[in-house]
Structure 1
Amino acid sequence: MGPARWLALGGLLALAGLLEGRLVRKEEAGFGECNRFFYAGTPPAGLAAAAHVKICQRSEGAERFATLYSTGDRIPVYSAFRAAHPAPLGAEQRWLVEPQIDDPSSSLEEVTDEADATSSVNNLGSKQALNADYLGSDYQTGQLYPFSLSSDPHTATFTLTNAAPMTPSFQKQWYLTLNSLMDLALSPQCGNGEELYILTGAVPSDLKVKDKVTIPEFVWLAACCAVPGGGWAMGFVKHTRDGEVIEDVMVKELEKLLPFNPQLFQDNCGEMEQDTEKMKKILEMVNQVQDEERRAHTEGASRTPSSTRSSRSALLPPETSGEKSSLLGKLLGFIATPFIKLCQLIYCLAIGILKYTVYFVWYVTKQVTYGLESCLYRLGSATISYFLAIGEELASIPWKVLKVMVRITRAILRILCCLLKEDLSYCPEISQPKRALASPDTSLQPKSHRDSPGHDCLLGLH
């Protein structure tokens, strides 16, 4: 590896820190600051689902394009961008991952290299594709928004959230066809692309790479030109089968081919004011591109069509270069993958052990706290009952003293009544007549007792 190569790789390490990708929260309207990539600032209606996440793809602090990503299929539903002039290709690019798709609590808020995210992101690869998912397969990472259409010199399009599985031949033809359509058909009929809004998407099939990443059944493109008084809208479909040629369709027809029959552009891209003459010119150039595609397939060569060569056609997909597909690179990939997986396993085990240890300590602490709480509750209840009992006894003392005083008073009164035997009417406690007190049969008593002075009072004390 020469010095220039090392300098390029060094520049790439510095470049990775400039790339960002922000997950748009569900409560945010649309795609946040990336709404400007949609016609009238409105994303397509009807395509979003529960398993989809919205990503505002950024670079150097600026928005570059927007992506709706399917965590179930692990491919993008679509990417939205504005047409732009191609930027010169800078340093060699690596495919990057979005940490917060797999781990919403991750502190990494920017896209990062997969190797760097392995040690710090929980469940990496559970909801998004990784480089390892493509190793050893017949598919490569194909960009829905090709880097050759981007004006970003740092190529923010090199994120796995902007890629779907494509065969090498299909990937190359997809890039070349988009370049030709953009330079020869679409941009010239829309003020050189200044008001051109592009959507590129993929419709999933039932096939998957390594039973993880869904292979598209076909990819599509929808273009909306918002030039006042001279706008238009056009759709394109390209099936992933070998030998297929890109097809031009009206946007409404394209919407019928997509899941859930969405509306791609608000107000159908100003349908009432579209310029049919410009659309005819676009179709003429599209026919030329299609003819060149057929000729290339017939000749059995995936070359750049001669009559439709554009300024972007020299920018080939980075995956097709000889150095990147070298045997050494694949061998290093096979060696590194098990090591990375082993590190992920060890990390997951350590996190699991720590998590369950914390759960166990929390459970023991909870039980001890519950036991102390129960004991304190019982002790408090007993103390309160004891004091209530004492209080009841203390409250009853005056009543008991009063009852004793009443009894003592009655006894004293009876004694006084006995002493005042001459006039029993002074005794309030004995209201019966004197003869009533003598009613008991006293005939059997000795006479000495019957004649004693206190006999009548003693009868009253019975």
Structure 2
Amino acid sequence: MGPARWLALGSLLALARLLDGRLVGEDEGGFGECDKFFYAATPPAGLSAESHVKICQRAEGAERFATLYSTRDRIPVYSAFRAARPAQGSAEPRWLVEPQIDDPNSNLEEVINEAEAITSLKNLGGKQALNTDYLDSDYQRGQLYPFSLSSDGQMATFTLTNSVPMTQSFQERWYMNLNSLMDQALAPQCGNGEDLFIITGAVPSNHKVKDRVTVPEFVWLAACCAVPGGGWAMGFVKHTQDDDIIEDVMVKDLEKLLPFNPQLFQNNCGESEQDTEKMKKILEMVNQVQDEERMVQSRGNSVPLSSTRSKRSALLPPEASEGRSSFLGKLMGFIATPFIKLFQLIYYLVVAILKNIFYFLWYVTKQVMNGIESCLYRLGSATVSYFVAIGEELVSIPWKVLKVLAKIIRAVLRILCCLLKAVCRVLGIPVRVLVDVASFPVYTMGAIPVVCKDIAMGLGGTVSLLFDTAFGTMGGLFQAIFSVFKRIGYKVTFDNSGEL
């Protein structure tokens, strides 16, 4: 960090107010008003995840580009923009943070400086990278949508949600690749560039800066030219190793290299109507860009030609090229660096102490409020329970009265029942005697016919027996007489026949 950056610090907060990075809600299908930065107003499909948030990056009251940001890796997944050629001018680096990523309930809708965010946001840095993550590390903040391609005064690109960790050499070659591709290959083959849609992204690796910000394994670029009848689509990949050259790939092959195999452009950027002749010309210019990169790389750390040096300095952000213009600037930076570091250390210590004091006071206040709330809750709960118990007792009184009355009536009925049983038992013997006396004539009168019948049957039997005896005796007597006369008659007959 050079002295020039501290001179710009006073105007930093005022300029930050011109930026507005709106978080797009999950209920919105795309990026809201930033859908215009995507081909057919359709964002890439298949890259959404729970840890990804959509940001519509704005500056000076207008939309500038769209970013899908990973709160898990603390780097952007991609940034999408329209590739109109930039206006000439310089830009001061203003690495700002997005308040609503770390604190969704924050009322700050504009991106702000990190120093200001410390005192106004909760959980700062919990889901996004901070400037402090890059201090005393081997990495710099490398923009996916570089300031050199921006046509809006280059201010909107200086957000940490548009940056990934890059080494200085890789950052220089990445910016040089993007500008060379845009000037020599992509924009010339797509009219004036108004119909050129660019998506630049990063694929995370397993390495992190200070165990917080993920270093990309490789960065990529996908371009779609939407000129009717003469469109095309191309992809580019650049690995973060220092000896790798940017590679050209077809968009379909690029999608296979990315996580989740997304579809970057709807209908593959009108694949059936793409102009193959323009794509051949693009590939020829890409070969020249690759040759230029090999020439620059072959020089290594040697002093480059003046033309190459000025070109590279123009492509670098001010913080990377600052202090190279003169030996005096380097000397001043060398002398001022220890004091700046000391001031930074004191500043961050003071901020950390104030932050901890604020958190402690907030914690104490919260505990006190929780205690008061708990006491009030218990008091209210006890009061409600008391009145509920009284109400239950009052409601139960009629029921209890009815139960007592029912028991009294039941007892009276039982007493009456016992009395009736006793009376019945006392009156049981006389009643039976009276019944028996009353029933005796009935039984006696009822027995007379039976007795008469039995007497009649006995008399009849006796008479019948007498008749049977009389007739039997007379019959026997007559039979005996008949037998005697029969025998007498036979003998007389026999005698008469002898005489003859």
For the criterion TM > 0.5, the same-fold answer is yes
**Do structure 1's residue 382 and structure 2's residue 393 form an aligned pair?**
yes
Residue in structure 2 matched with residue 13 of structure 1 by the alignment: 13
- Cα 1:4–1:392 change in 2 (3 A) is closer
In the TM superposition, residue 93 of structure 1 has moved relative to its aligned partner by 2.8
Within a 5 Å distance, the mapping from 1:223-372 to structure 2 comes to 223-301=223-301, 314-320=314-320, 321-322=322-323, 327=337, 328-372=339-383
Residue in structure 1 matched with residue 167 of structure 2 by the alignment: 167
**Do structure 1's residue 195 and structure 2's residue 195 form an aligned pair?**
yes
SS in 2 for 1:68: strand
Residue in structure 1 matched with residue 467 of structure 2 by the alignment: none
Distance across 2 between alignment mates of 1:68 and 1:287: 31
The one-letter code matched in structure 2 to 1:147 is F
Distance across 2 between alignment mates of 1:318 and 1:285: 28
What fraction of aligned residue pairs are identical, expressed as a percent? 66
Within a 5 Å distance, the mapping from 1:71-82 to structure 2 comes to 71-82=71-82
Residue in structure 1 matched with residue 147 of structure 2 by the alignment: 147
In the TM superposition, residue 255 of structure 1 has moved relative to its aligned partner by 0.7
- Which structure's residues are more often helix, by fraction? 2
- Cα 1:282–1:318 change in 2 (3 A) is same
Residue in structure 1 matched with residue 101 of structure 2 by the alignment: 101
- Cα 1:272–1:184 change in 2 (3 A) is same
Distance across 2 between alignment mates of 1:179 and 1:313: 12
The one-letter code matched in structure 2 to 1:39 is Y
In the TM superposition, residue 390 of structure 1 has moved relative to its aligned partner by 6.7
Within a 5 Å distance, the mapping from 1:37-186 to structure 2 comes to 37-90=37-90, 92-153=92-153, 155-186=155-186
Return the index of the structure with the highest Cα Rg: 2
In the TM superposition, residue 4 of structure 1 has moved relative to its aligned partner by 9.7
SS in 1 for 2:153: coil
Equivalences, count: 405
SS in 1 for 2:192: helix
Distance across 1 between alignment mates of 2:303 and 2:149: 19
Q: Which moved more, 1:377-386 or 1:325-334?
A: 325-334
Contact 1:179–1:310 (8 Å) recurs in 2? no
Query: Could you report, residue by residue, the CA deviation over 1:396-440 in whole angstroms, capped at 9, with x for unpaired residues?
Result: 99x9xxx9xxxxxxxxxxxxxxxxxxxxxxxxxxxxxxxx9xxxx
TM-score normalised to the size of structure 1? 0.80
**Superposition RMSD on alpha carbons, in Å?**
3.2
- Cα 1:41–1:173 change in 2 (3 A) is same
Structure 2 portions without partners, runs of 5+: 324-328, 414-433, 435-500
Contact 1:64–1:152 (8 Å) recurs in 2? yes
SS in 2 for 1:73: coil
Contact 2:237–2:247 (8 Å) recurs in 1? yes
Residue in structure 1 matched with residue 490 of structure 2 by the alignment: none
Distance across 1 between alignment mates of 2:342 and 2:275: 54
Query: Could you report, residue by residue, the CA deviation over 1:33-78 in whole angstroms, capped at 9, with x for unpaired residues?
Result: 1000000000111111111000000011110000000000000000
Q: Which moved more, 1:280-289 or 1:333-342?
A: 333-342
- Cα 1:296–1:335 change in 2 (3 A) is farther
SS in 2 for 1:191: coil
In the TM superposition, residue 338 of structure 1 has moved relative to its aligned partner by 3.1
Contact 2:91–2:318 (8 Å) recurs in 1? no
Residue in structure 1 matched with residue 326 of structure 2 by the alignment: none
Distance across 2 between alignment mates of 1:341 and 1:4: 26
Query: Could you report, residue by residue, the CA deviation over 1:199-250 in whole angstroms, capped at 9, with x for unpaired residues?
Result: 0000000000000000001100000000001111111111111121111111
SS in 2 for 1:383: helix
In the TM superposition, residue 271 of structure 1 has moved relative to its aligned partner by 0.6
Distance across 2 between alignment mates of 1:190 and 1:82: 12
Contact 1:296–1:302 (8 Å) recurs in 2? no
Residue in structure 1 matched with residue 215 of structure 2 by the alignment: 215
